[in-house]
Amino acid sequence: NAGVTQTPKFRILKIGQSMTLQCTQDMNHNYMYWYRQDPGMGLKLIYYSVGAGITDKGEVPNGYNVSRSTTEDFPLRLELAAPSQTSVYFCASSSTRQGSTEKLFFGSGTQLSVL
């Protein structure tokens, strides 16, 4: 079972560069999420999606964009990288079938440094 797969695992960017963090899941989950985690802190929600073609902002969306063209994929785009975006990024997915009890499945994360 692949579950939630994130690529790349590590990346170093220069200020002002752009990149896309990839996330794909093979569990046919409707809901997908992007979180960031700064050192010693909990996770903060960046964007989420409840299905193909539908996305919405989370707690910290500034500087990021997302798209959801298929059920499986939910890429996160950084257009103009800034040092404040240095963080570990986690993608997650969940099924909607169990209402409030559905659990999240997380990827292994992408460590991003902006220098």
Partner 1 sequence: DAKTTQPNSMESNEEEPVHLPCNHSTISGTDYIHWYRQLPSQGPEYVIHGLTSNVNNRMASLAIAEDRKSSTLILHRATLRDAAVYYCILRVSGSARQLTFGSGTQLTVLP
**Of residues 67-86, which lie at the interface with partner 1 (CB under 8 A)?**
none
The residue within the footprint of partner 1, chosen from 14, 42, 62, 97 (CB under 8 A), is 42
Q: Does 27 bind partner 1 (CB under 8 A)?
A: no
Q: Could you tell me which of 52, 53, 46 has the C-alpha nearest to residue 77?
A: 46
What's the token pair of residue 93? 């997915």
The residue within the footprint of partner 1, chosen from 33, 55, 68, 114 (CB under 8 A), is 33
Nearer to partner 1 by Cβ, of 14 and 103: the residue is 103
C-alpha pair distances (Å), 89 with each of 33, 35, 100, 101, 106: 10, 6, 24, 24, 10
Q: Does 43 bind partner 1 (CB under 8 A)?
A: yes
C-alpha pair distances (Å), 45 with each of 1, 17, 78, 92, 94: 25, 23, 15, 10, 14
Contact residues toward partner 1 (CB under 8 A) are 4, 31, 33, 35, 40-45, 48, 50, 56, 58-59, 90, 92, 94, 99-101, 103-109
